[in-house]
Amino acid sequence: MTILVVLVLLGLHSAAAVIHSLKNLVTGSSQAPNFPEFVAVGMVDDVQVDHYDSNTRRREPKQDWVNRLIEDDPNFWESPEEILRVHQQLYNDSIGPLMHSFDQTGGVHILQVMIGCEWDDETGDVNGSTWIGYDGEDFISFDLKTEKWIARKQQAEIIKQKWDTNRALNAWLTHYIIQRCPYYLKKFVNYGRSSLMRTDLPSVSLLQKTPSSPVSCFATGFYPDRAKMFWRKDGEELHENVELGEILPNHDGSFQMNVDLDLSSVRPEDWRKYECVFWLSGVNDDIITKLDKAAIKSNEGPSGFPLGAVIGGVVVLLLLVVGIVGFFLWKKNNNWFQPANTTDVSSSSLSSSVEVQNTGL
C-alpha cells in the first residue's frame, strides 16, 4: 500500500512563554500514489525544526539555529532517529488493522501519530502525551501513569488490548516523554531562544466601511500568532453582536486579525463604554483601544481603511493554501497534554536503546 503522509501543524504556542513544547508529528493517508510512505516532522513551540521521509531517509534541519546545534553536536540526531522508527512501526502496524476494524476496503483514510512533551523552564515541570487519530477523530491515546492505552473509539478496544501487552513499547514511550523528550527540547530552546522568544506588537486601528457598518478593530504586524482580540463593555468581554476574524499572515511573516462590533443597537452616548482589547502571549500588557468616533477610519481616501494590508494578507493566505494542498489539519484542541508522573520511570531503569517489538495488531 502506498501512503501519503501529511504534516500536522497545530497547536499554537507562544515563543515568549515560559512553557515550551516539542511535538513529533506524523500523518498519513492510504491509497495515494506517488508520495512518500512515511513523513515525520519535529515542532518546537510550533516552529518546524526538522523533516524526515521514507524516500530520502534523511532527517533534515529546517532552521539555521538547528544547523548550529548539529555543528556543535554532530551526534545529536543519532538518538532521536529512534522515535522515527517507533512512529513508522506504529503506522505500518496500524493502518491495515484500523481499516479492517472499520470494515473499510479502500479509499483514502487518515492516520496521525503525535509523541510530545511540554517543559516549564521556570518550574521544571514536564508534561507529555502520545495520541493516535484516525480519519479526523481521536482514536487511542497513551496513559503515562498506568503505561496503558486508552481507547477513544469502540473499534480501538482490540488494539488497546494488543498494545497493553507490549511492555517494551510502553516503557519506551514513558521514558521518552518524561526523560529524553525534555532533554532534546531544552537543547532546542537553548539554541533557538532568540527566534522562539520573538514578540512584535501590532498597530491597532478602528475601521468602518459605512456609518451603519460594524466597527472593526484591526491589528496588524504582530508576532507570534498566539493572540486574542475581543470587545468589552464596562470591563466585561462581549460575545453578542461580535464577529471574530481569523488570524492571517502578512507578507513579512507577521500576522493580522480583526474583531467586529455591531453598534446598530447602541446609543451614541454609550460608545465610551466600549473598548477593544488585543492580547499577545508572552507580553504583560494588553493593547487597549477605546471606541472613539473621531478615531474611526473609513474606506474612503488615502488615510482610510487599509485594504492593501488586508488584501495582502488574504493573498498570502491563498498562496499558503495552494502550497499545502493535500495536507490535512484535524486537531484543533490545544489541550493535547496530560500531566506526566515523573516518578514512575527513571532514566536508569530504561535503556535508551530499548527495542520496540511486537507492535503488530
pLDDT in tens, 4-26: 333 333 333 333 346 899 999 88
Q: Is the pTM of this model over 0.85?
A: no
Question: What pLDDT does 358 receive?
Answer: 42
Q: How far apart are CA 108 and CA 3, in angstroms?
A: 9
From CA 211, how far away is CA 307, in angstroms rounded?
Answer: 17
Digit-coded pLDDT (tens) for 172-230: 899 999 999 999 999 999 999 888 888 899 999 999 999 889 999 999 999 988 899 99
Give the tens place of pLDDT for each residue, 52-61: 887 787 889 9
Task: Name the CATH topology of 203-320.
Answer: Immunoglobulin-like (2.60.40)
pLDDT of 99 reads 65
The residue-averaged pLDDT of 85-111 equals 68
pLDDT of 59: 85
What tens digit of pLDDT does each residue of 120-172 get?
888 889 999 998 888 788 889 999 989 999 999 888 888 888 889 989 889 98
The residues spanned by each domain of the chain are 3-196+325-339, 203-320
d(CA 180, CA 316): 37
Say whether 64 sits in a helix, a strand or coil: helix
| Cα–Cα dist 323/316, whole Å | 10
What tens digit of pLDDT does each residue of 329-348 get? 444 444 444 433 433 333 33
- Decide if 46 contacts 40 (C-beta within 8 A): no
Q: 3-196+325-339, what's its fold?
A: 3.30.500
**Parallel, antiparallel, or unpaired: how do β-strands 203-207 and 296-297 relate?**
parallel
Which set of grid coordinates corresponds to residue 102? 472499520
* pLDDT above 70: percentage of residues in the chain: 67
Rg of the chain taking only CA atoms, in angstroms: 24
Residue 101: pLDDT over 80: no
